[in-house]
Structures are given as structure tokens and as C-alpha cells.
Amino acid sequence: MLDPRRLWPGETPYDGPLAFIDLDSADPWFRDIALPACPVIGIGDRTHPLATKLDTVIEPPASAAAIERQVLAHPRAAAVAVELLRLLRGVPAEQGLVAESLAYGLLQGSAEHAAWLAQRPRAAPRPDGRVEVRREGDVLTVTLAAPKADNAIDRPMRDVLREAFALAAADLEIRHIRLRGEGRCFSLGAELGEFGTTRDPATAHAIRRLTLPAPMLLRCSDRLEAHVQGACVGAGLEMAAFALRLTAAPDAWFQLPELAMGLLPGAGGCVSLSRRIGRQRTALLILSGRRLSARRALDWWLVNAIVDEPPGDDRGADVDG
């Protein structure tokens, strides 16, 4: 455990890979700290005056041991992730997406990400995924329709998603936007086989600025309703979190696995999730890599309700938060 007085601005900067602070024993009158370039994590009393200044405070499903393992294995990615989340507190959402992409690009050029690329198994090529876009009156339904690939989002799917949400953002006669995933799960996130195909981080940033759905999702988020079932992972979770109303099936679970790849969430999730569940719980998901159940997601206000069927189908009963 680190004595928080070690983080007083007048001290020599702390240069460890992470720091744990015991909030049960910390002096409640000492609050003047300067966060170093690494995760600073509280253990214990979440009501301690110092707690809100830290990057996160341990709570289930995360544990101090799990976070320590993850951070020590990927210290640079962990440091960039928490420093980005600190920065986003005072930044408008659209500018936050730019900052997220820049931070993601920085990590794309890192040794940690290169090590992950070198050891990942090579997957067999798969057919292009599909996204179904259907308009009925003032309702636009966007469905991830690659169930055999667990709705992993590849480039063709990403491009259609960007176009669909750009249409919704521009056409105010579309009053309701529904985001769905076909099959047993909502989405396993970005197609892993496409990672590393653009080697230059600056070029990759330029491509993201032109093609990611997140800026368009942000512009129509006040009309967006999403429903998820099964796995809701990585980019899938990042997109769904933009929704004004997000519902989950009882079997849904949520995860941000990017740190293990030497990365951070780069499909808008640092913005969408921190605005939905707060900076500290977003950091907890990133640093731990642990799965979040539908019930705990409801407790965290990540989802608005647990439902047996998507809204619009009245066969299921809601469990509201």
C-alpha cells in the first residue's frame, strides 16, 4: 500500500507501475494529491474524501489481485488508459472521441501491442459480416447480422454502421433508432483478425476519424435504444453504451478486454462508458478485464432494465433499475 502523502505535489514524482491506497486507514484530512502516470487504485471505504480523486476503487467483480496482474503485464497501456479517462472529465464528448483515438494510436505503436500481435493465433479468413438496416416510418432498426461470427465487427460492418447512424443523425424524421444483434450474442467486439493491418498509427488515426460509427452515434444518441443479449464485448459494448436507453437480456454479460492486447477501448467506449457509469467504474472494467453480469450492470446503471425480449415485444417482463 502507498501512503497517499507520497503523492503530495511537492514530493518526487512516483514512478511505479501502479499504486494501491488503503482508504480505511488513510488520513481523511489529507486530500492534496497529484496523480502520477500510472493507475492509482483505492481499496476500502468508497466514502473516504480521497476516493473520488483516485482512478478507481475496488469493487466486485474486480479484485486487487486481478488488476495488479493485468497492469503489471501491460503497464504502458494501463497508464495511457487512466490518463485519458482523467483528461476526458473536462472535455466535450466530440473532442473526447478525438483524444481517445489519439491515445489508441499511441498504443498501436507500443511494444505491448506488438507483443500481442506476435503471439495471437492466426484465424482463418471469414466472409464479410452483414448489418441489416431497415426503416419503417419513423423507426430505423440497425441489426448486427453476422451470428456465425458472433457479430464480430469487421470493416464492411463498421462502414455500414457509420452510414446508418449518419443517416439517423441527419434525418430528424427518424424519431426512434434501434440497435440489435442477431443470434446468441450481441457482439464479441471488433474482428481480431483485422488488428495490425494498418501499421502506421497516424494513418490508423486518420482512418478511424473517417470511418468509426462513434461520432454519428453521439449525434443521434438521444433517439437511440439498444438491446443486448449474451456477450456484449469491446466495440459492441462501446457502441451500445451511447444509447439513451440500454436494455439487456438476463444472460447478457459485458467486458472490455483491450488491455490484454496492449490497447484501450478505441471505438468510443472511453467516452460513452465514462459518461454512462463514470470514470472510475470504466477504469475498473478496463484495468480488470473482468466480465460484468446483467444484474451488476443494472446496479451500476450501465443498463436501464433487464428484459426477456427487446422493447417493442411485450412478451417479456422488465426488471428496472
Q: Could you read off the pLDDT of 85-128 as tens digits, one per residue?
A: 999 998 999 999 999 999 999 999 999 999 999 998 877 777 88
Q: Could you read off the pLDDT of 193-232 as tens digits, one per residue?
A: 888 788 899 999 999 999 999 999 999 999 999 999 999 9
Q: What pLDDT sits at residue 318?
A: 41
Q: Residue 113: which of 75, 68, 153, 67 has the closest Cα?
A: 75
Mean pLDDT score of the chain = 93
Omega prior to 257 cis, within 30 of 0: no
Q: Is 311's pLDDT higher than 70?
A: no
Q: Could you read off the pLDDT of 2-28 as tens digits, one per residue?
A: 988 889 888 888 999 999 999 999 888
Q: What are phi and psi of 63, to 5 degrees?
A: -140, 155
| 61: Cβ contacts below 8 Å, ≥ 6 apart | 288, 290, 291, 292, 293, 296
| 171: Cβ contacts below 8 Å, ≥ 6 apart | none
Q: Which domains does the chain have, with CATH numbers?
A: 85-320 (3.90.226.10)
